[in-house]
Structure 1
Amino acid sequence: MTAFAEERRADRAADAEQRRIDAAAVDARRIEREKAADERASRLNEQRQTDRVRAREAQARTRAERRAARGEALTPGNVYRKGTLALVTASALGSLPAQVLHFVGISPMLLPLPLAIEGAAWVMAAGVAYADERHLPGWVRWFLRLLVLAAAGFAASINYTYGLHLPGLSAPDRQAAGIGLAAVTLLGPVLFEIRQWVTTLSADTNSPEERARRRHERKRRRQHRSIAQLADRFVSAAPFGQLDFEEAFAHAWEIETGTSTPGMTPRLHQRAARSTAALAQAQRSAVGDSTGRGLFGRLFRRQTESSPIQNPNQDESPQSITNRLGSDLQESAPETPPAGTEPPTPESADPAPAVAPEPVAGPVAEVEPVKSAEPPVLRPVAAVESGPRRATGRVPQSARTPRPTRTPDELLTEARSATADWPDEKLTAEAIRKAVRTSSANGRLLRDALKAERAERAVSEAQAA
């Protein structure tokens, strides 16, 4: 009994476990089905929302396109063109029946006559538009306009006569009917011609650059008539399309005026030369003569007055003077004059500078002053020391080797000959100073004088040319 009971309990437990597993599986399948349904519903909702957004965007695009189309259709140009065509159509519909009734009342055989008259007016009006499109000569357009006016005027006179003879109307009404029919007959061709004229002008003047170009062309032809005519002759003589008008005009300008610069003439070149000469004259501040001596002399005097200590012919720097001390110190005092002579008096002897000579290194020959009627003569005496000596200080004026003094005119002559073949860019104060061996101040003065001479020479050559 015990084993059987245990087996039954085990079977019942197994059945319960199986039922629990089956229930869990059923619940899992139900959850999966619900989850799939929820996902499917979510996708459907998203799709419906996307479709609604796309539909709204499509409607917005359609409305925008319609607004753009209405805006393009309702522009002033389109309204004017389409409105003119509508008025022209109404004019034709108002004038043609009166002409048909008038000619048919005379004879049914005259039925094609009003169609021919009205059609001639419109065909000639279309011919004016074609002439504008093909850029035909102006006389063609005006001839076609005369034909339009003739056909429209004849039709207007017929309609006016027909209106005056309408039965059953009073005299003022018949007058008004005649004038109205004549006006509507002329209104269509006139409006069409005005429309074509406005369209042509708007097409030609639509670009500001094009308008400016035409104004420039008219002004150039008006102000330079002979040159423009010569350029037209060049263009007509060359093969078609081979020569541009601008090139022909430049060539004609060079032939007429002798210069390739646009706008320049011989008279303008003379004015430019006179202006250059006046500018050079103002810069030179009235040069004394053609050699430039007056200018250099004034510059030299101004420079020396501003610095009176400056030696005009101080051709060497202090360093070069120091290098010359060795040769300068080899000169000694004057030789001893013969015995029995008296020393020179202050009136007969040359005045000596008041600067005391500085001592120099090395012994020199001892000199005694003696009486003599002649001025002392300086003779060099060899120094005792054999080796080179260095400078011990500033050499006094009496101990220096005298150098010839050059006048400003001599300096200018030397500078002019030394720089005769120099270009203008090489004409500097330092180069001139080295060439003529002078001071920096004199080099600047010489540079200014030489540049003034070259400017005057260029002005003279320009005036002569």
Structure 2
Amino acid sequence: MNGKGRIALVLALVAVVGMAFRVSWNALRDIAGAVGADGTAATLYPFVVDGLMALALVATLVLVDRDRSFALKVLGTYTAASLVLNYVHGLVPALHGRGVEWGRLADWDPANWVLVLLATSLPVGSIYFGSDLVAKVLHHRPAPDPTPIANAEESTKTEMIRSTADLPESVPAPVAVPVVRVPDPVPADAGKSSIILKPVPILAAPVGQAPTKSIVRPSMAAESTRPRRTTYRVPDAAKTPRTRRTADQLMSEARTVTADWPDAQITGEGLRRALRTSPANARKLRDALLAERTA
């Protein structure tokens, strides 16, 4: 539907609602006068009932979830109340000329009590429910539209594709140039500073250019007074001799260690760790100990 059609539809709806309100206004005004309202209050009474219906209808279009259900309940309740009062106005002709007794809307007392209670409680309900609906509408925060996020992701993906297509040829990896290291010269005088030649690393040149030669620059370095570590092999004579145990000594130690061991715990690996001996000796000791226990 185009813009003109929508405007025409809205104007027609406003006209119909206005005429319906005028019809209902006549009945509600007479009802208000019958329950004790003065002329001004009776004139404003229809706005209290039917006006809250319009407010609840607008709230249902704005609110969501539980708040929307509450607005629908208010709309339905006041619509039903307005319908009942209009129906009573049609049943009691004396209300048209305001010749009915005050506080008397029906001949049957229980029905009259209910109708008077309904007519007098609607203004109070309009104050409470109207304020609540306005507060809910003012504090309502609409959910964010997911469309901009989707468009942003799409545009980002497009930019990535474009940037990938516009990239130049890949840059080849730089060629590593070996650095020649010159050994440090032996200092001439102890305790004095000497000149030590150290290599300066040069970055590799791009493909297509000749690599730059590494330049060896002299640098001043003070000779360290800390003694150097020994790098030659220590002779066997300088090592601490290791005592070798005989078979009897090993057997004696094995009996002492395994005195409290059960048979299942006497294994070659367990003896090897406890006595710090070779696997072959450990197996021999195991067999001998088990044989002694069996005998």
Query: TM-score, normalized by length of structure 2?
Result: 0.26
**Structure with the higher fraction of residues in helix conformation:** 1
In the superposition, the TM-score normalised over structure 1's length comes to 0.18
Greater radius of gyration (CA) = 1
